[in-house]
């Protein structure tokens, strides 16, 4: 059956290319921080054509507002970080993005601020964020803080942004978001708001906080964990939960972002990278690709000071020089994102298992009369699928790790470490 999803209609076609700007342009970490005159934020514009060629429809930015270090210790939400440039550079970025048909998502850090933030009476709670002494928690019960955040979000939406990722939304009282977001939506009804959630009852939190979406960390973990452990039962359980979420909102899905080890480094077997990308782009939700993952970049996040640096590298000017593996990973992303765009109904598609074993998984993604069948095999032997396994007679091979597409068959054989995308006929 069709799913009911929240948010503006344009989100049904959204596929984000996510960038961490301070790292991307070499502004942090840096031996000598750049000054505004270098206008480094504009370097992102040089990559917009790559985002288009990838198939993305939007750019999801990490923090771009004035801060002391990594961007999450904000000192002034109304000022572009001088290491990136100034407001004119932001206007240029938005203009160039919109000219190409790309949406722009901003990263809103409203749970905490940096120690250099202008302290006003009653604005701080007295606590710190997750024990980080340089991150001071805002007092979300103060009506002035509500008004401030409404003002900040509205200001940048008026300057052309299309939505906000709400950082550490799980740490902010839900009543705060419920007070803020309706006011912002009244001024900008076409904006999209996604809360960063890690654990918990996503659907209940999204409803109470008035979010449009939430980060789907449960599915992210299940994808790489099930592939590493040879346990597709974990993935199936997560996808059943995912179906429940899709009944009320479309989660932000991903296999990598600026806060986690890159998927190419997280997976124990390099061949399983394709399976992870296939999953990302054939299940319901709003997909996001972290810049560099489409090239097969590697990087491990470590729990220490500077532990994020490896997953937030500087990018040179495009194009990136790729070896054969990198070129193959890019081509896979381009094909699967193209598939996603040709089947926009996948945005709200639910999944059901047709065949479930530890090391093989066949599922159907369906929305109304539209459906695709996805077969994943990480076993050492071939996976043989007949009509009983596929729940249908003949199928058309849409794509696969080795099979020629557009072939209509009665039986499907998926080679070891292989995959297929099929269409019932």
Query: What is the full DSSP assignment across 325-340?
Result: HHHHHHHHHHHHHHHH
**Residue 7: per-residue pLDDT:** 84
Per-residue pLDDT for 322 more than 80? yes
> 94-98, 201-205, 248-252, 406-410 — which is least confidently predicted?
406-410
Q: Is the dihedral of CA 221, 227, 228, 230 positive or negative?
A: positive
Range 255-284 burial, b when 16+ CB lie within 10 A, else e: bbbbbbbbbbebbeeeebbbbbbbbbbbbb
Question: What's the mean pLDDT when you consider all of the chain?
Answer: 96
**Residue 259: per-residue pLDDT:** 97
Q: In sequence order, what are the residues at sequence separation of 6 or more whose Cβ sits closer than 8 angstroms to the Cβ of residue 383?
A: 360, 375, 377, 413, 414, 418
CA 251 to chain centre: 9
Q: In sequence order, what are the residues at sequence separation of 6 or more whose Cβ sits closer than 8 angstroms to the Cβ of residue 342?
A: none
Does residue 407 contact residue 396 with C-beta atoms inside 8 Å?
A: yes
Q: In sequence order, what are the residues at sequence separation of 6 or more whose Cβ sits closer than 8 angstroms to the Cβ of residue 22?
A: 28, 62, 63, 70, 71, 81, 83, 84, 312
Residues 212-249: pLDDT tens digits?
999 999 999 999 999 999 999 999 999 999 999 999 99
Domains by residue range for the chain, with CATH = 9-348 (3.20.20.80), 351-424 (2.60.40.1180)
Per-residue pLDDT for 404 more than 80? no
Burial of 229 (0-12, 13-18, 19+ CB in 10 A): middle
Q: Is the dihedral of CA 132, 177, 254, 39 positive or negative?
A: negative
> 4-13, 63-72, 198-207 — which is least confidently predicted?
4-13
Per-residue pLDDT for 3 more than 70? no
Per-residue pLDDT for 101 more than 70? yes
């Amino acid at each position: 059956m069709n799913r009911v999803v929240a948010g503006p209609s344009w989100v049904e076609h959204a596929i984000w290319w996510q960038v961490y700007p301070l790292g991307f342009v070499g502004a942090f970490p840096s031996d000598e921080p750049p000054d505004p005159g270098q206008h480094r934020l504009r370097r992102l514009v040089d990559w917009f054509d790559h985002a288009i060629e990838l198939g993305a429809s939007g750019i999801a930015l990490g923090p771009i507002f004035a801060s002391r270090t990594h961007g999450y210790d904000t000192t002034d939400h109304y000022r572009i970080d001088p290491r990136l440039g100034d407001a004119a550079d932001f206007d240029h970025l938005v203009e160039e993005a919109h000219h190409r048909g790309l949406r722009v998502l901003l990263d809103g850090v409203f749970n905490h601020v940096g120690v250099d933030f202008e302290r006003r009476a009653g604005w701080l709670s007295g606590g710190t964020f997750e024990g980080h002494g340089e991150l001071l928690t805002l007092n979300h019960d103060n009506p002035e803080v509500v008004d401030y955040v409404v003002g900040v979000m509205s200001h940048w939406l008026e300057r052309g942004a299309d939505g906000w990722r709400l950082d550490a939304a799980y740490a902010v009282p839900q009543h705060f978001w419920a007070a803020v977001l309706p006011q912002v939506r009244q001024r900008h009804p076409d904006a999209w708001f996604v809360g960063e959630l890690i654990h918990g009852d996503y659907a209940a939190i999204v409803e109470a906080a008035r979010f449009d979406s939430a980060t789907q960390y449960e599915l992210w973990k299940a994808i790489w964990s099930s592939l590493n452990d040879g346990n597709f039962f974990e993935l199936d359980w997560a996808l059943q939960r995912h179906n429940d979420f899709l009944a009320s909102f479309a989660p932000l899905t991903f296999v990598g972002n600026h806060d986690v080890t890159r998927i190419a480094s997280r997976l124990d077997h390099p061949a399983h990278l394709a399976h992870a990308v296939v999953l990302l782009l054939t299940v319901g939700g709003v997909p996001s690709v972290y810049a560099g993952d489409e090239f097969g970049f590697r990087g491990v996040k470590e729990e220490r000071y500077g532990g994020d640096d490896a997953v937030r590298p500087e990018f040179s000017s495009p194009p990136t020089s790729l070896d054969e593996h990198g070129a193959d990973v890019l081509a896979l992303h381009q094909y699967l994102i193209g598939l996603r765009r040709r089947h926009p109904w996948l945005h709200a598609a639910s999944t059901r298992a047709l065949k479930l074993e530890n090391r093989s998984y066949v599922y159907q993604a369906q929305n109304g009369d539209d459906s695709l069948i996805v077969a994943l095999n990480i076993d050492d032997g071939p996976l043989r699928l007949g009509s009983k396994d596929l729940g249908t007679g003949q199928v058309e091979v849409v794509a696969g790790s080795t099979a020629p597409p557009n072939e209509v068959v009665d039986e499907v054989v998926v080679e070891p470490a292989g995959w297929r995308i099929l269409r019932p006929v």
